Structures are given as C-alpha cells and as structure tokens.
C-alpha cells in the first residue's frame, strides 16, 4: 500500500513538472520566429512527364508555408479581386469554339505514325488552348476518349 502511494506521488510530481517551462525557453523550445532570410531550395530528382519528355534534376525554391501570413496576404484577403484570365483570349470561330490549326493537327498525326487518325483516341492539348497552350504538335498527345472527357471536366480549373 505504501509503495503504491509512493509510485502515485512520483507520477503526479512528474506530470506537474512536465508542464513547467524553463526561464530560458526561447533558446531550446524549437519555436522561434523566423526573420527574412535566404529562401531555402528543394532538390527535384529527374522524372518523366506524362507526355514522355524528361525533366533533368534541378533545385527550386521551397514552397511557401500556408500557416504563415504576411501583411501582403492579409491585404489580399481584405480586398476582393475579380479573377483575370492568365492569357489573352484565344481566337474563336462563329460558334464560339477555339480555332485550331488543321496543319498542326495533321503534322502531329504524321509525326506519331497515325496520318489518318487513331481509332478510339482523340488529339488532346497537354496545356489547353484556353489556358494559353500552343496549337502546335509539341503540345499535343493521343488520349483515349474517356480520359479526354474526364480531363476536359477539370482542366480549366488551373488556368
């Protein structure tokens, strides 16, 4: 019985001592305020994009933390801005559809080995024309009809 009380007293004393912060907490707490310093970089390994192009390894700036707010971010929240298009609107035909180059389409078909089209596939622009993508064979890919429909539903969100 005495041993149980002694153990209980020890654990109570230990639990209360954990909550006490030392007077020198700023030195070792790990919670320091950062001042403006050199931005950190992140190393990106070599990878292959969906369109088959290879991207070499490189360093890039680290993504900014979402938890910190700056004065500029606070003023942006206060003022409401209309969304402006990222690029100038693409040329459109009389039905409102974006005009496409037939010669660029044919050049892509010939380049990929399907000069008369590919059954079950459509030609898709990797970066959509509406978002400023080029109507050029380098921006085109073969895509299944189902995958193209799914991509069309969401691709302009990032514009």
What is the per-residue pLDDT across 23-56, written as a single tens digit (0 to 9) for each?
554 455 555 555 556 668 888 899 988 888 888 9
Identify the CA nearest to 137 among candidates 145, 154, 125, 119. Answer: 125
This prediction has a pTM of 0.43
Token reading at 49: 């994009």
Residue 105: which residues within 8 A CB-CB, separation 6 or more?
A: 123, 140
Query: In terms of C-beta density within 10 A (0-12 exposed, 13-18 middle, 19 or more buried), how is residue 125 classed?
Result: buried
For the cut 70, the answer to whether the pLDDT of residue 89 exceeds it is: no
Output the pLDDT for position 34. 53
């Amino acid at each position: 019985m005495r041993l149980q009380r002694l153990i209980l007293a020890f654990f109570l004393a230990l639990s209360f001592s954990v909550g006490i912060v030392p007077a020198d907490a700023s030195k070792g707490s790990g919670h320091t305020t950062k001042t403006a310093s050199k931005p950190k970089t992140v190393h990106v390994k070599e990878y292959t994009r969906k369109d088959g192009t290879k991207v070499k390894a490189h360093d890039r700036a680290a993504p900014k933390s979402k938890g910190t707010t700056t004065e500029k971010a606070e003023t942006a929240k206060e003022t409401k801005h209309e969304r402006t298009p990222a690029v100038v609107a693409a040329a459109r035909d009389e039905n409102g559809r974006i005009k496409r180059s037939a010669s660029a389409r044919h050049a892509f078909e010939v380049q990929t080995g399907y000069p008369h089209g590919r059954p079950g596939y459509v030609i898709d622009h990797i970066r959509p024309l509406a978002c400023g993508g080029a109507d050029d064979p380098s921006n085109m890919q073969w895509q299944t009809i189902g995958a193209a429909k799914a991509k069309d539903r969401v691709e302009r969100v990032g514009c």
